[in-house]
Structure 1
Amino acid sequence: MIRLSEGEIPVIEKRKPYALIAITKHGVAHARSYAEKFPYVDLYYMKKFEQGDEEARQIQLFDGSVRLLLPALFQQYKGIISIISLGAVVRMIAPLLIDKKKDPAVVVVDDKGQYVVSVLSGHIGGANALTHEFAKAIGATPVVTTASDVQKTIPVDLFGAQFGWMWDSAEKLTPVSASVVNEEHVAIVQETGEKNWWTYERSMPDHLKIYSSIDEAIHAKPQATLLITDRLIEENEKVLLENGVLYRPKSIVLGIGCNRGTAMAEIEQVIEETLAELRLSKKSVKAVASIDLKKNEAGLLEITAKYNWPFVTYSPDELNEIPMQNPSETVFKYTGAYGVSEPAAMRYANAKELLLEKKKSGNVTISIARVNFEEGE
């Protein structure tokens, strides 16, 4: 926990590029939800609203006036999103301002989550882009008061944020952003993930070119690349990332069954080994799905809490509605369903086939499906 006191800049643990702060009961409830929908934020809120899962979810609690927390956030974060009244935010940040080339983006969200307002460093600091992308993610209305809002292209560091996409590394964000802004040839290759990411009324600029495959993009020799995939990149494909950003869409569903009392460590090991075998990124896991009988299984609750993955369970009847290649009379005898991991993964992903049919490893059975983005979940 962060203890705040006058005259001292607190020590914080920065993991993401943006900070999200809440100081009211309703604001905290919203902020916890926002942090799931918009994965680029570290969440901070007051200790009196502690709910017990903060350590597992890497949420930072503070005790004292939020005004004393802001200097540390200003120094370390690219932007700050505050669920605090606009007037209060303006008063608190006023002593911290240096100039528009150095100040972080500051955005304010109202307590009901209806509006997202760009407050400070709109163009250069990226507050306008952050306002638009965060508003998309939480379903709010963006408010940008800049006379000429020229942000009508892809914000590289926020690309796909409204869908929960994460970039693999921040190393190339700046040079690739420069390529986008300077209208250089930028290749976009998308292997999976949501397709409706271009939301502006005008057509996409000609210098942003979509390619159907990595090989096609490599042949085109772009000056920069945006690559969207849940696969681990092979050596011959890495040339695109010499000046490229790799995005991880939330596209993988893990269907999991396990024996009662299976330890979280065993479940985690099976997940990691299986994803590695399939050459899939753990950052692209969207959810874990199972049967209702497992909704209180400690190991599954612990692993999903650790990675902030939704944990969804289905009734036997819901699972039996899914056509299965490997129905089991034994599983039906004990659970009422002809399968657990396979139909659970397929149902959540709205998929007609599996990337991995059920694999038994020790006390764990795992199946993997890729989300059907053509038809939605």
Structure 2
Amino acid sequence: MTLAVLPVRAEGQRLGEHLARGLDAELLRPWEGETSPRELLSVRFGQFSGWVLLMASGIASRFLSGLPESKLRDPAVVVLDEGARFAVSLLSGHEGGANALAYRVANLTGAVPVVTTATEAVKPLTLGIGCRKGVSAATIEEAVTRVLPGRLGHGRLAEVREVATIDLKANEPGLLEFCSAHGLPLRIFAAADLQARPFVNVPSGWVQSVTGALGVCEPCALLASPRGRLIVPKTAHQGVTVAAVEDVWSA
């Protein structure tokens, strides 16, 4: 996926540079030339398969006016405000990969990923997962499936919207493989965020000694779904811990 990062103002350059490094993207600097940000987007829109626009959503909507042609061909577009609060999947969420890109942007900046496509929006479950280093995807799947059928009802893996974990596990191969196999976005929380919001039923001394947080799976699930309720508390299986939260509105 070829990506471009386009800040609307020079004040967004530092954030843009951070994103460009993390996404292996090209950072465009319209303030260094004679072309306006809107003109630059128009001219180069089809040259990239994905865009991260650092600007307000209203500005992005005006800039994009007249550019989209088909959801099967349009590049993915994610809008991120300059305060890095929300990463909004705005265009080509499924076909173009903007939903997945929104999570990548969110994980790099600490923003909240905003995905509004119906397929994802109606899924009520969030899983928090913690695991020991080197745990396989098969073991993670076994831990999850032991929880889901027994506690939540058969087939509810299809109702999972996202998986959440701590930043120390952001590149854990088994966890990434599990999420990829089931098409589940992985949301990453900094250890400091978990330390500040210790939502755990049974604190773990071992986890605290390693991460500084009292737990991983429960606080991650609750942070990812702040209006949800914990329906499966921390459940451990062969080095994997799983917790599940369900949105209150859909319960």
TM band (smaller chain): 0.5 to 0.7
Aligned residues: 153
Closer/same/farther in 2, CA of residues 354 and 29 from structure 1, 3 Å limit: same
**1:273 is the counterpart of 2:146:** yes
Q: Deviations over 1:186-223 (max 9, x none)?
A: xxxxxxxx6xxxxxxxxxxxxxxxxxxxxxxxxxxxxx
What are the equivalent positions in structure 2 for 1:207-226 lying under 5 Å apart? none
Instruction: Give, in whole Å, the separation in 2 of the partners of 1:111 and 1:275.
Output: 37
Instruction: Give, in whole Å, the separation in 1 of the partners of 2:164 and 2:75.
Output: 31
Question: Which residue among 185, 192, 212 is the counterpart of 1:336?
Answer: 212
1:264 alignment counterpart: 137
Question: Which residue among 317, 330, 341 is the counterpart of 2:192?
Answer: 317
The 8 Å contact of residues 75 and 91 in structure 2, kept in 1 or not, is answered as no
The 8 Å contact of residues 351 and 369 in structure 1, kept in 2 or not, is answered as no
3-state secondary structure, aligned to 1:354: strand
Instruction: Give, in whole Å, the separation in 1 of the partners of 2:146 and 2:207.
Output: 24
Matched AA of 2:146: E
| Superposition deviation, residue 324 in structure 1 | 2.4
Q: Deviations over 1:219-266 (max 9, x none)?
A: xxxxxxxxxxxxxxxxxxxxxxxxxxxxxx311111111110001111
Q: Structure 1 vs Structure 2: percent identity of aligned residues?
A: 28
Q: Deviations over 1:327-367 (max 9, x none)?
A: 22321111111000000001001146311110011111100
2:12 alignment counterpart: none
Instruction: Give, in whole Å, the separation in 2 of the partners of 1:271 and 1:301.
Output: 14
Q: Deviations over 1:21-50 (max 9, x none)?
A: xxx653x437xxxxxxxxxxxxxxxxxxxx
Give the structure-2-normalised TM-score.
0.53
1:93 alignment counterpart: none
Instruction: Give, in whole Å, the separation in 1 of the partners of 2:68 and 2:50.
Output: 16
**Structure having the higher Rg:** 1
Closer/same/farther in 2, CA of residues 299 and 112 from structure 1, 3 Å limit: closer
3-state secondary structure, aligned to 2:187: strand
Instruction: Give, in whole Å, the separation in 1 of the partners of 2:219 and 2:231.
Output: 12
Question: Which residue among 30, 36, 50 is the counterpart of 1:29?
Answer: 50
Question: Which residue among 163, 170, 175 is the counterpart of 1:295?
Answer: 170
| Superposition deviation, residue 372 in structure 1 | 4.6
Closer/same/farther in 2, CA of residues 112 and 265 from structure 1, 3 Å limit: closer
Instruction: Give, in whole Å, the separation in 2 of the partners of 1:302 and 1:340.
Output: 19
Closer/same/farther in 2, CA of residues 85 and 257 from structure 1, 3 Å limit: closer
The 8 Å contact of residues 290 and 314 in structure 1, kept in 2 or not, is answered as yes
| Superposition deviation, residue 320 in structure 1 | 2.4
Which sections of structure 2, spanning at least 5 residues, go unmatched? 1-45, 52-66, 78-88, 93-115
**1:164 is the counterpart of 2:164:** no
| Superposition deviation, residue 272 in structure 1 | 1.6
Which sections of structure 1, spanning at least 5 residues, go unmatched? 1-23, 31-83, 87-106, 115-136, 141-160, 166-193, 195-248
Larger RCO (alpha carbons 8 Å, 6+ apart): 2
Q: Deviations over 1:264-289 (max 9, x none)?
A: 11111111221111205111111111
Give the structure-1-normalised TM-score.
0.36
| Superposition deviation, residue 308 in structure 1 | 1.6
